[in-house]
Amino acid sequence: MTESIRNADVLIIGGGLSGTMLAVQLLRLPGQRRILVIEPRSELGRGEAYSAVELGHTLNGNAARMSVDPDNADDLTQWLTDYIGAGGWPQSNQQHVPISELFPPRGIFGLYAQQRLAEAKALSASTVEHVRAEGVDLQVDADSTLLTLDNGQQLRGTHAVLATGMFPAARTPQTESSGLNAAAVDPWDVQAMTQLDPQSTVLIIGSGLTMVDAVVSLEQAGHRGPIEVFSRHGLLPHVRRQPPSWADFLAADHSLRSPRQLLCEVRRQCRLALAQGIDWQAPLDTVRAHIGRLWSQASEREKRQFVRHVRPWWESHHHRSPPLSAQLVARLYEEGRLRIRAASFKGLERSLSGVSIRLRHRGEHAISEVSGAALINSSGIEYDWRRVARPLPQQLLKRGLIQPGPLALGIAADVSGAVLDAHGQVSQRLFAMGPPLRGMWWESTAVTDVAIQAKALAAKLTHI
C-alpha cells in the first residue's frame, strides 16, 4: 500500500549549515509552523563542511568572524568560551590567543550549530523534524511543492527551500567525468591516507583551501614523502591574520564599479597600509561587506572579466588559510617536500603502482606526464548545477523549475531568494539560499552571508 503524503509548511532540502540556520530563524519567529528538514546524514548542522572529525581541519575564519547569529557577532565566541570552560577542546590553549581569535575545528563548529538549533526548538511553538533521506525529484504547482525522496516517500510543503550547500568537486559525481574522482583519495579521509606508503609521492590537483586540508590530512596520516601540487595559476592561499581596522573606502566612493577600477583602488589602499606599517589585509577585509552590491550591479561583461582575470588572486588573497594549517604548508614548502607548479590537468591513467596524470604547464604547449602513488582532487567547489550528476539538480533542470545563475554559478533567483524557472518566471513556492546563490552575490558561502540570508528568507516565508 502506498504510504500517505506527509505535509509541512516548509520543506528545507538540505540539513547542513544553511538548512539548519534557516530552521533556527523560522523557529524564532512567532506562530506555529511544521518544518521538515530533508538530509541524508545522521545529523543536522554539519553538511559537507562541518562533518570533519579531525581537529586539524579548522575553520578558515576566527571565532569573531563566524557567528551563526546575524544579530550577535560574538555568538560563537560566547559559545566557545562556555564550551572550553566546561572542558571541551583542551587543545585550544596551544594557539595562545584570545578565544575570539581562535580557529575552531570544523567538527566543533558543527556542534555549535546543532546546539543553537536545539535551543531554538526548545523555545518555539513550531516544530522541526529531520527526515533522513535524499530528495530526488520535486514538483511545483500554484498551491504547493511535492518532494519525492530516494525511499519513495513523498512530502508536500507550502514552500520548499533549496539549502543544498556546496558540492565539493572531490565528492560530487559529474555529468562529464574525467575519471579524476574515481582515481583520487578523498582530501579529508585520513584513514585512507594511512594506507599509503609514508615515503611515496602524492599528487594534488588544485591549490586552494581544499589542498590545505589535504596536506593536513596527509600529515595526520603520517605521510612524510613528496607532495606535488598543480593548479592553473600556481597560487597558494595567504595565511589569515588579524589586521587592525581600516577606513571603509568603498562606502565613501560608489563610483568604483568595474573590476579594473576596484582592483586599482584596492592595490592603492594596500600600498597605503604597507607604507604606514599596517598589514595589507586590513584594507582588503573592508571590501568584503560590498561584494554583493558590486557583483549584482556589474554587467555580464564585467563579471566575466572578474572571473577570468581577477578571481584566482581574489581567492588566494581573500579565502585565506588558518594559521596552523598555513604554518604546516609553509614548513613543507621550505623543506622541499611540497612543490607547487602552474599547470592544467589534462587527464590520467591508473596503474598497479599508482596513477599518472597528464598536464600542460603554464606557458608551454606540450603535454607532460607526472606519476605518483596517489592522487587527491582539491579543485574546490562545483557550482555549475548542470555538471552535478545528482538526482535532484538534474530533475530540477529537466522540469525547467530552475535555470543556471549568472555565469552558470549556482541557480538564478530574485533578491529574496525566490527561484527563477527556465522561462525567467519568479516562483511563489520554491526558494534557495546559501551556495546555490553564488551567481547572484558571488560570496554566498561564508557563514555570515548565509546567516543574513537565513533571517531574511525566514521572515519572507512567514509573511507570504
Model pLDDT for residues 17-59, shown as the tens digit of each residue: 999 999 999 999 999 999 999 999 999 999 988 988 888 999 9
CA distance 356 to 371: 4
Give the end-to-end CA distance of the chain in Å, rounded to a whole number: 36
CA distance 58 to 63: 11
pLDDT of residue 1: 36
What is the pLDDT confidence band of residue 464, given thresholds at 50, 70 and 90? confident
pLDDT of residue 3: 66
The CATH architecture assigned to 171-238+321-377 reads 3-Layer(bba) Sandwich (3.50)
Q: State yes or no: pLDDT of 2 exceeds 60.
A: no
**Could you give the count of Cα atoms lying within 13 Å of 292 in the half-sphere of its Cβ?**
13
Q: What is the DSSP letter of 41?
A: S
Q: Give me the residue label for grid cell 512567532.
A: 30
Percent of the chain predicted with pLDDT > 90: 82
CA distance 32 to 9: 10
Q: Over the range 344-367, which residues count as b (16 or more CB within 10 Å of their CB) and which as e?
A: ebeebeeeeebbbbebeeeeeeee
CA distance 83 to 368: 51
CA distance 141 to 186: 40
Model pLDDT for residues 407-457, shown as the tens digit of each residue: 999 999 999 999 999 999 999 999 999 999 999 999 888 899 999 999 999
- 445 vs 66, residue with greater confidence: 66
By the 8 A CB rule, do 61 and 103 touch?
A: yes
Burial of residue 1 (number of CB atoms within 10 Å: 0-12, 13-18, 19+): exposed
Q: For residues 268-274, give the mean pLDDT.
A: 97
To the nearest whole number, what is the mean pLDDT of the chain?
94
- Check whether domain 6-167+383-461 has CATH 3.50.50.60, yes or no: yes
> Hey, do 6-167+383-461 and 171-238+321-377 end up sharing a CATH topology, with the first three levels equal?
yes
| Residues contacting residue 389 through CB under 8 Å, at least 6 positions apart | 172, 173, 174, 175, 177
Q: For residues 154-165, give the mean pLDDT.
A: 97
Model pLDDT for residues 91-100, shown as the tens digit of each residue: 998 888 999 9
For the chain, which residues make up each domain, given as ranges?
A: 6-167+383-461, 171-238+321-377, 249-318
Q: Could you tell me the three cell numbers for 278?
A: 599596517
Q: For residues 220-231, give the mean pLDDT.
A: 97
Model pLDDT for residues 119-151, shown as the tens digit of each residue: 999 999 999 999 999 999 999 999 999 999 999
CA distance 389 to 3: 28
Transcribe 117-134 into DSSP letters.
Answer: HHHHHHT-SSEEEEE-S-
